[in-house]
Amino acid sequence: MHSSSTSGSRPCLNSNKLSLSLKALALTSLIFPFHAINASKATYQFDSVVNQNKLTVVSVANPSAVFEDGDYFHGFGYDLVRNYANNLNVQLEFKTVDDNATALKMVATGKANFAMTTANTQTIETKKLTSLPATCGDLNSLEKNGLNTELNWVFKHADDPLTQAASGFICKSKQNGSLNQLASFYNRNVVKEEFWDDIQSDLSKRMPIYKASFKKTAQQYDLDWHLLAAIGYQESYLKPTSVSPTGVRGLMMLTNSTAKAMGVNDRSNATQSIQGGAKYYDLMLSRYDDIPFPDRNWYALAAYNMGPGTVNQIQKRIKAQGKNPNNWVNFYAYLDRNKASNGQYRQAVQYVTRIRAYLEHIKTTPQLVNI
């Protein structure tokens, strides 16, 4: 079992976020009526979550729920859970297990506040547990993006305020469009199925050639060499002689000015290009060190692609709209909403989502991981 904890620093219980979550209870009472008003409050998970400032969630790792990336997690399901913890203004302790049965048992025995599973309703009810669909009925958002429509959140009691607040949160996410945007970013179809054989062939042939350089450079900057390889593949298909019409060149496709700033003399030299690309990516990461992972990676990739100045301009526009500019869903939504009229935004959306897809492919393909 693997776990990770993220902070949602909560100085007091009367925060705006918690207030919003409590308001959601009234909305969800139509879905889960308070039919156990006289039940002991000690049975409620909500009380312990608030008092301990920690939400413990268990999940089975799968493409729709969560992808384990070293010390961090990402994925549609994980990000939705993380946003719920932020909404409650509590820390998230996230754990992964091998199967649905183990996840359900942890909920039943109180070792987790809820589970994210793909278990069917009959199995869940047999365990005397209750479940919420992770879509509030918006199956289309998951289906069109290749995500499992059976994804659900499983709780111990239907009348627990934690369950009801979760239902309200999911439905609000559906209504404000953030659920659809999250599903869009984690689109499993971002690379068409018929292209994967060629991609696998390319990576199998070229990654071994540059593995040593990727690993050595990644270690120098405390980066994941698989991520550097995914960036290199998106940039040049791992071809050091690549040149774009705009003059960007090399395996990591550096501009002449960026190459000079990173100490690269020969952009066509694969080792120098990897070194320069890693140094520049690390620099981009440092610009967003106030943003937690995995979002920091997505912001850094966007900045690598279209420049930190453009990223900062977009953040200012998002902030002017009264939204959090450091929330990736908000940033991605802005790009996605305006990509039809802005080629740079369209390219950035494609750039970040494809690198994410390549990274997941590399890390889940034994022939590539063990190269």
Domain ranges of the chain: 2-185, 193-369
Predicted pLDDT at 10: 31
Quick one: 227 exposed, middle or buried, by C-beta within 10 A (0-12, 13-18, 19+)? buried
Distance of alpha carbon 151 from alpha carbon 132, whole angstroms: 9
Closest CA to 218 of 185, 178, 245, 252: 252
User: Catalytic residue numbers?
Assistant: 235
Distance of alpha carbon 205 from alpha carbon 63, whole angstroms: 26
DSSP annotation of 158 reads T
Predicted pLDDT at 369: 76
Predicted pLDDT at 30: 42
Predicted pLDDT at 277: 98
- For residue 6, name the pLDDT band (cuts at 50, 70, 90): low
User: 10 Å Cβ neighbour count for 42?
Assistant: 7
Give the pLDDT confidence of 260-311 residue by residue, as tens digits: 999 999 999 999 999 999 999 999 999 999 999 999 999 999 999 999 999 9
Predicted pLDDT at 1: 55
* Contact (CB, 8 A) for 63 and 283: no
- For residue 355, name the pLDDT band (cuts at 50, 70, 90): very high
* Contact (CB, 8 A) for 262 and 254: yes
How confident is the model over 314-331, as a mean pLDDT?
96
Distance of alpha carbon 339 from alpha carbon 98, whole angstroms: 39
Which of these ranges, 15-29, 63-77, 220-234, 323-337, has the smallest mean pLDDT? 15-29
Predicted pLDDT at 9: 35
* pTM reported for the whole predicted model: 0.85
Provide the angle, in degrees to the nearest 10, between the axes of the packed helices 295-306 and 225-236: 30
Give the pairing type, strands 54-60 and 2-6.
unpaired
Predicted pLDDT at 70: 77
- For residue 45, name the pLDDT band (cuts at 50, 70, 90): confident
- For residue 3, name the pLDDT band (cuts at 50, 70, 90): low
Predicted pLDDT at 80: 97
Quickly tell me which residue has 């199925």 as its tokens.
Answer: 193
Give the pLDDT confidence of 167-206 residue by residue, as tens digits: 999 999 999 999 999 999 999 999 999 999 999 999 999 9
DSSP annotation of 2 reads E
Mean pLDDT of the chain: 89
Predicted pLDDT at 68: 87
pLDDT exceeds 50 at position 361: yes
- For residue 12, name the pLDDT band (cuts at 50, 70, 90): very low
Q: Provide CATH code, domain 193-369.
A: 1.10.530.10
* Contact (CB, 8 A) for 291 and 311: no
Predicted pLDDT at 89: 95
Quickly tell me which residue has 């690379």 as its tokens.
Answer: 191
Provide the angle, in degrees to the nearest 10, between the axes of the packed helices 328-338 and 295-306: 40
pLDDT exceeds 90 at position 26: no
pLDDT exceeds 60 at position 351: yes
Give the pairing type, strands 91-97 and 67-69.
unpaired
* Contact (CB, 8 A) for 204 and 197: no
pLDDT exceeds 70 at position 41: no
CATH classification of 2-185 is 3.30.413.10, yes or no? no
Distance of alpha carbon 92 from alpha carbon 95, whole angstroms: 10
Predicted pLDDT at 367: 83
How confident is the model over 49-75, as a mean pLDDT?
92
Which of these ranges, 59-73, 203-217, 272-286, has the smallest mean pLDDT? 59-73
Strands of the sheet containing 130-133, edge to edge, are 2-6, 91-97, 54-60, 114-117, 152-155, 130-133
